[in-house]
């Protein structure tokens, strides 16, 4: 099973081409497949249609194989491209018909189409009546682009259906259009800013130096400072909160990140009708919230929030496959983070089989960035439990990534953790070569900091340290690294590697899990006023 999952990961990394129609068929639920068959066979002449045979064939395959398709279907090779394109279109039509029952944007577009049909027949009043109802729904749910289309069409109808109040109506249309255009412009700026910050995080991770921080502040802060939150509409406020949460997250300001994530989630709580329309963004708000709580070590609030989110997912997660993927990622990550804080690595490892099955099932729908994060967290679970070979196995999935620009920080720390795991596992016969390779990689990625330099220097001289001097050298390294725990930039290393707990375990002769559990239990014995509740 592990080999199959590893192969699936390598296939995903290599970017193996897949057939669009095959991927679409395999993504369909049983209800969607049943609906398609009913739609496709609605006419007697289609009962034996070739595209239905092609659908059945693709549905039966585990992987796309053109030879098997041609063997099983009454289709010539030269006909296959057109037949696949036709099947693709027919599936989308059936999905749109089915989706119209649950998707408000599709319903609104459908109403616009009906209005156009009535208009073309000269039934202007009927067309206008549908448009007015559509406009009200679009306005109440902030479907701004649809709202612009509706108003534009209403103007067109008024030019052929002249009324006494046309002048005031035209002015009203003008004011509404101007206001919507202002909102759309703000949304475009805010959403682009949020995306740029997230893209920067995917490449570099957290800010590393004062220069990084200055560049980020100089570029992004002025773009966000011009907005007065109280004057913003729902979608504007959402993108503003999203951008601010990411900005503070990448700056290591987890308190402010958490506060904006809270406002992000609270915004949807105050407008529950928007959850089904923007469910993915609502779920991701919880992701930022839970991540902030973990990094601040707010254990009880993390546990309570995670429990509340799981209950919420019983409702929101049933919307569609995408919601399931996003929500499960957040839940698995949340439970792994809880195990990290508790030092309960064995419980975390019990989740690994379920996580692997999840990643394998939805491998085409989970980004490389998200997979790398999950593999790194699993590697840390095994490291904390003392299973160094399994730790190295998962780290290899990250270091095999062909694109060095994706999470450069994660690739660097994976290599460092792999060095430590190699040493712990007794695989140190070529440690010097590995250290030189890692050092070169980190310098090339421009990601070298003092903690990393200290760690690599220590590992490099390990083979020359006598056993009776080892604990003294470990204590010296601990004393050198401890002050960086609160350093504004160097502390980023401790978000990836709990180096201090590992050093304490080596000095005291206890496991990493024991050290972390002791710290956790000591924290829980503090008065409530000194810890989160």
| pLDDT score recorded for residue 13 | 41
**Most trustworthy range by pLDDT among 151-165, 202-216, 380-394, 401-415:** 380-394
pLDDT, tens only, 64-89? 988 888 888 888 888 898 999 999 99
Token pair listed for 266: 């609270």
Q: pLDDT tens digit string along 334-366? A: 999 999 999 999 999 999 999 999 999 888 889
Q: Which of 281-285, 297-301, 394-398, 455-459 has the lowest mean pLDDT?
A: 455-459
The pLDDT of residue 3: 47
Mean pLDDT score across all residues of the chain: 86
Tell me, what's the pLDDT at 165?
58
Residue 12 has pLDDT above 60, yes or no: no
CB atoms under 10 Å from CB of 440, counted, come to 10
> Residue 96: is its pLDDT beyond 80?
yes
pLDDT at 115 over 90: yes
Q: How far apart are CA 440 and CA 275, in angstroms?
A: 47
Mean of pLDDT values over 151-158:
88
Task: Name, in order, each residue with C-beta under 8 angstroms of 164's C-beta and a sequence gap of 6 or more.
Answer: none
The string of pLDDT tens digits covering residues 299-335 is 999 999 999 999 888 776 556 778 889 999 999 999 9
| Those residues with Cβ within 8 angstroms of residue 194's Cβ, 6 or more apart along the chain or in another chain | 239, 242, 243, 246
Asked if residue 265 lies in contact with residue 286, where contact means CB atoms within 8 angstroms, the answer is yes
What is residue 7's predicted lDDT score, i.e. its pLDDT? 47
Buried b (16+ CB within 10 A) or exposed e, 262-285: bbbbebbeebeebbbbbbebbbbb
- pLDDT at position 532, please? 59
Q: Where are the domains of the chain?
A: 2-99, 175-270, 387-533
Q: How far apart are CA 384 and CA 148, in angstroms?
A: 55
Q: Which pLDDT does position 71 carry in this prediction?
A: 87
Per-residue confidence at 457, pLDDT binned at 50, 70, 90? Answer: confident
Least confident range of 351-355, 425-429, 509-513: 425-429
State how far the Cα of 428 lies from the Cα of 433, in Å rounded to an integer.
Answer: 10
Q: What is the mean pLDDT of residues 434-443?
A: 83
Cα atoms in the Cβ-side hemisphere of radius 13 Å centred on 248: 20
**Which SS3 state, helix, strand or coil, does residue 488 take?**
coil
Entry pTM? 0.84
Of the CA atoms within 13 Å of residue 300, those in its CB half-sphere come to 9
Q: pLDDT tens digit string along 218-254?
A: 999 999 999 998 899 999 999 999 999 999 999 989 9
Both tokens of residue 315?
């409702």
Confidence of residue 45 (pLDDT cuts 50, 70, 90): low
Contacts 24+ apart (CB under 8 A), 377-382: 377/333, 377/336, 378/336, 378/352, 379/414, 379/417, 380/340, 380/417, 381/336, 381/339, 381/340, 381/345, 381/348, 381/349, 381/352, 382/345, 382/349
pLDDT score recorded for residue 421: 92
Q: What pLDDT does residue 14 have?
A: 40
Query: Is 90 exceeded by the pLDDT of residue 488?
Result: no
Question: Span 264-274, mean pLDDT?
Answer: 94
Q: Sign of the C-alpha dihedral, residues 313, 314, 315, 316?
A: positive
């Amino acid at each position: 099973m592990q080999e199959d999952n590893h192969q699936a990961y390598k296939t995903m990394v290599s970017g193996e081409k897949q057939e669009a129609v095959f991927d679409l068929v395999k993504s369909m639920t049983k209800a969607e497949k049943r609906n398609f068959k009913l739609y496709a066979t609605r006419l007697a002449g289609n009962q034996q249609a070739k595209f239905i045979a092609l659908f059945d064939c693709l549905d039966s395959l585990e992987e796309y194989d053109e030879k098997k398709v041609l063997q099983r279907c009454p289709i010539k090779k030269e006909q296959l491209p057109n037949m696949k394109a036709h099947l693709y279109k027919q599936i989308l039509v059936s999905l749109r018909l089915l989706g119209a029952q649950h998707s408000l944007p599709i319903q609104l577009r459908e109403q616009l189409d009906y209005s156009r049909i009535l208009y073309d027949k000269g039934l202007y009043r009927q067309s206008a009546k549908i448009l007015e109802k559509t406009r009200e729904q679009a306005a109440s749910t902030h479907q701004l682009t649809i709202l612009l289309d509706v108003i534009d069409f209403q103007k067109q109808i008024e030019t052929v259906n002249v009324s006494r109040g046309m002048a005031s109506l035209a002015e009203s249309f003008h004011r509404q259009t101007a206001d919507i255009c202002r909102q759309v412009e703000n949304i475009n700026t805010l959403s682009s800013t949020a995306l740029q910050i997230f893209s920067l995080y995917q490449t570099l991770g957290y800010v590393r130096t004062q220069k990084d921080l200055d560049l980020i502040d100089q570029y992004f802060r002025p773009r966000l400072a011009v907005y007065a939150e109280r004057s913003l509409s729902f979608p504007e406020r959402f993108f503003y909160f999203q951008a601010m949460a990411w900005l503070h997250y990448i700056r290591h300001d987890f308190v402010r990140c958490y506060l904006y994530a809270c406002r992000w989630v609270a915004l949807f709580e105050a407008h529950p009708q928007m959850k089904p329309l923007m469910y993915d963004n609502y779920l991701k708000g919880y992701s930022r919230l839970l991540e902030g709580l973990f990094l601040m070590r707010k254990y009880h609030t993390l546990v309570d929030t995670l429990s509340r989110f799981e209950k919420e997912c019983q409702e929101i997660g049933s919307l569609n496959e995408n919601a399931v993927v996003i929500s499960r990622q957040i839940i698995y990550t949340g439970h792994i983070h809880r195990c990290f804080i508790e030092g309960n690595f064995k419980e975390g490892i019990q989740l690994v089989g379920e996580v692997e099955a999840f990643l394998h099932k939805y491998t085409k729908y989970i980004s490389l960035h998200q997979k790398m994060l999950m593999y790194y967290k699993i590697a840390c679970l095994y490291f904390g439990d003392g299973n160094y070979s399994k730790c190295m196995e998962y780290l290899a999935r990250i270091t095999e990534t062909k694109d060095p620009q994706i999470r450069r920080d994660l690739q660097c720390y994976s290599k460092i953790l792999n060095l430590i795991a190699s040493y712990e596992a007794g695989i140190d016969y070529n440690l010097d070569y590995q250290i030189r390779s890692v050092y070169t990689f980190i310098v090339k990625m421009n990601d070298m900091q003092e903690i990393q330099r200290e760690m690599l220097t220590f590992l490099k001289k390990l083979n020359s340290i006598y056993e009776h001097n080892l604990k003294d050298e470990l204590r010296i390294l601990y004393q050198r690294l401890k002050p960086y725990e609160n350093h504004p930039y160097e502390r980023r290393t401790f978000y990836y590697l709990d180096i201090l707990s590992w050093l304490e375990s080596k000095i005291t002769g206890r496991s990493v899990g024991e050290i972390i559990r002791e710290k956790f239990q000591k924290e829980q014995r503090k008065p409530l006023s000194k810890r989160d509740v």
